[in-house]
Structure 1
Amino acid sequence: MLFDNFTLILLGVVATATLLPAQGQGAVFFEGLTVAAIALLFFMHGAKLSRQAIIAGATHWRLHLLVFGCTFVMFPVLGVLAKPILLPLLGEQLYMGVLFLCVLPGTVQSAIAFTALAGGNIPAAVCSASASSIFGIILTPLLVALLMQIDASEGPSALHSIGAISMQLLLPFVLGHAMRPVIGAWVDKHKKKLSRLDQTSILLVVYTALSASVVQGLWSTVSLNALVMLTLVCCVLLALVLFLTAWLGQRLGFNREDRITIVFGGSKKSMATGVPMAQVLFTGSLIGPALLPLIIFHQIQLMVCAVIAQHYARQINPDTAARPKASS
C-alpha cells in the first residue's frame, strides 16, 4: 500500500533525470514526445466523460461549490498564511512550489476511484472533478500571477499562459468529449489499459521537466534537509485539508455519501494537470522546485487516501479490502 509500482517507477524516473538528464537533441525529442502524450491524455479524459454523468452530478451545486472553494480558495489561503513559516524553512523557490501546488486543480481519476471505493456520491464526484480540471486551466495561471506577482516582464503573462495551457490541455479535452459518441464505447471497454496512458504521460513530463531543471543546477540549490522539511510540510498540509474538508462537510449538513465526495474531491491536487502547467508557467531552474512539492504531495495523498477510502468501505462492508488504482 505504501509503495505501489507507479510510485517506485516515479522514484526511478527522478533518479534517471538526476543522473542522465535529457540534453541537446535528446531534450528536444522528449519535449515533443511529452506534448503529444499530454494531448492524448486529455483527449482520452474528454472521451471518458459521459454526458449522463455530467447531468446526474451537475444539479448538486452546493457540493460542487464547496469542493471548488476548497480547491481554489482554501488551499491558496493556507499557502499564503503559512508563508512566514515556510519561507525560512524551505527557501523561496520551494515555497513557490508549495504555493503552486495550492493553486492547482484537483485530480480526476483518483478522486472518483476513492469516492467509489468508499461508497460516496460517484456522479457528483465525476462532475466535480472534471469541472475542477477545466476551470483550473483558467484559474491556476491567474492565481499564480496574483499570488506570486509574476508579470510579463518576468515570465509569460497570465493571458499568454491561459492560452498556452488551453491549447495543450483544454482543446484536446473538448475534442475528446466531442468524439465520445464515436469512440466512447471503446474507451469504456479499455479503461484499465488506458490508465497506463495517464501514468506514462506523467512519467514522461516529470523526466523532461526535471531534466531541464537538473541541467540548470536543481540539486545544488535543494538540499536533502530541505527535501525532508518539504515532505513534512506536505504531510501537515494534507492532514489539515483532510480535517477541514471532513469538518466542513459535516458542519454544512451533507449526508455521508456527499461528505465522502467532498473529502476526496477537495483534498487532492492533480499531477497530470500540474506538471504540464508548470512547464508553461515556469522556466529553466524554477521548474524543478515547482514540481518537487507536487511530486511529494501526490504520492502522500494516494497513500493516505487509499487507507481512508478502505476505512469508509469497511464501515459499509467489513469484507471490503480492494484498493483503487489511481494516478492522476
Structure 2
Amino acid sequence: MARPKFLPDNFTLMLVGTVIIASVLPCKGEAAVAFNWITNIAIGLLFFLHGAKLSREAIVAGATHWRLHAVVLLSTFVMFPVLGFALKPLLSPLVTPALYTGVLFLCALPSTVQSSIAFTSMAKGNVPAAVCSASASSLLGIFITPALVSVMLVNHAAGSGSAWHTVGNIVLQLLVPFVAGQLLRPVIGKWLDRNRGVIKFVDQGSILLVVYSAFSEAVNEGLWHHIPPLALGGLVVVNAVLLAVALGLTALASKRLGFSREDRITIIFCGSKKSLAAGIPMAKVIFASHAGAVVLPLMLFHQIQLMVCAALAQRWGARDMSRERHAAASRNAAAPAAARR
C-alpha cells in the first residue's frame, strides 16, 4: 500500500526519533568525544561516496546550458539570503533568535541533488540540466556557504574564528574526501552504481549521527528550555513562507526570462530547495557545539519542501501526460480522415 504523499517518509520519522533519543539520552563526557570522532569519519565517508558517485558525463551533458545554471545558482546563493534578511522583520518575532539564526543558515546552503533531480524527472523537466545544476550547487556550496555564513552570521559561527578558518575546515572535512572519491570513481564507480543502497545507508546514517551528536550537545546546554512550543509552531510558518516565496519567484523569473517549460521546471525545483545532506555536516563544522538549534529549521524545511514539491511534480507530470494523450488522440482521429481523402 502506497504511503499518502503528505505523510512523513521513513527517514523523516528516523530523524524525529533521533531527536527524541538525544533529548532523553544525550551523549556525554568521553562517550561524546568518541561519538564526535565517529561522526566526523562518517561525514568524510559520505562526501567520499558522493564524489565517487558523481558522473562526469552527466555534468558535461548539462554544462552548456549556462543561462539556466546561472539562474539556479543566483536563486540558491543570492535570492535566499536576500529573502532571509528581507523577511526578518515580519518572521523573526515568530521564533527565537537562535532558530532564526538557523533560518539564515538554511538560506546560505546549496540545493539538493537527489530530490531535485527526482522531482524534475517526475514533472517532465530538463533532467540533464538538473543533474548539472544541482551537482554544481552542491560542490560550490562547500566554498560559498561558509563565506555567506561569515557575512550573514558574523557573531554566531561558533568555533570558526574567521571565514578562511571555516573554509579550511570545510575543505579538509568535505572537499578533500569528495575529490578523493571523484579521483577513484574509475575504480569504484561501477560498484557503487550497482550498490546504490551503500550510498543511501551512509548518507542517512551519517546524517542521523550528526543530528544525534548535535542535539546531544544542545540538550546538555539546555536547548529545550530556551525554545518554547509556540516558537516551533512559528518555525513552521517561517519555513512555509520562505518556500512559498522562493517557489513563486523562481517560477516568475524563469517565465519572464523566456525559458521553455522543461527548463522552468528545472529552475523551480533546483532553485527553491536546500540540502539536508550537505547542510547538517556543514552546520557541525561551522557552528561546532551550537549546531542543535541551527539545524532545526533545516530539518523542518526539508520535510516541507519534500511534501510540497512532490505534490507539484505529480501534478505537473500528470498534466504533461494528459497533453501527450490528447495529442495522440488527435493524431489518431485525424489519420482516418486523411486516409479517406
Please indicate, yes or no, whether the TM-score normalized by the shorter chain is above 0.5: yes
Per the alignment, do residues 153 and 254 of structure 1 end up closer, same or farther by CA in structure 2, a change over 3 Å counting?
A: closer
Unaligned runs of 5+ in 1: 319-328
Deviation at 1:140, TM superposition (A): 1.0
Change (3 A) 1:105 1:153: closer
TM-aligned CA deviation for residue 272 of structure 1: 1.1
2:312 pairs, out of 263, 283, 308, with 308
* Corresponding residue number in structure 2 for 1:18: 23
Question: Which string of whole-angstrom CA distances, capped at 9 and with x for unpartnered residues, describes residues 19-62 of structure 1?
Answer: 11111122122211111111111111111111111111111100
1:78 corresponds, among 75, 83, 97, to 83
* Pairwise CA distance, 1:193: 4.4
The offset of 1:239, in angstroms, is 1.0
Aligned to 2:242: 237
How far off its partner does 1:276 sit? 1.3
Q: Conserved in 2, the CA contact under 8 Å of 1:156 and 1:281?
A: no
How do 1:75-224 residues align onto structure 2 when only pairs under 5 Å count?
A: 75-150=80-155, 155-224=160-229
Which SS does the other structure have where 1:253 is aligned? coil
CA–CA separation in structure 1 for the residues paired with 2:92 and 2:144: 24
Q: How high is the TM-score relative to the length of structure 2?
A: 0.89
Aligned-residue offset at 1:283: 3.7
Which of 56, 59, 62 lines up with 1:54 in the alignment?
59
Q: Contact 1:107/1:270 (CA < 8 Å) preserved in 2?
A: yes
CA contact (8 A) 1:151 1:158 kept: no
Contact 1:47 1:180 in 2 (8 A): yes
CA contact (8 A) 1:105 1:270 kept: yes
TM-score after normalising by structure 1: 0.93
CA 1:276/1:224 → structure 2, altered by over 3 Å: closer, same or farther? Answer: same
CA displacement 1:252-272 (0-9 Å, x = unmatched): 111111111111100111111
Instruction: Give SS of 1:268's match.
Output: coil
Task: Answer with 107-116 or 11-20: which moved more.
Answer: 107-116
**Which has more radius of gyration?**
2
- Aligned pairs, number: 317
Q: Against the structure 1 CA distance between its residues 89 and 134, is the aligned structure 2 distance closer, same or farther, given a 3 Å change threshold?
A: same
* Worse-matched range after superposition: 68-77 or 37-46: 37-46
Aligned residue in 2 for 1:321: none
Contact 2:159–2:288 (CA under 8 A) maintained in structure 1: no
What is the aligned-residue identity percentage? Answer: 57
Asked if structure 1 preserves the Cα contact closer than 8 Å seen for 2:22 and 2:219, the reply is: yes
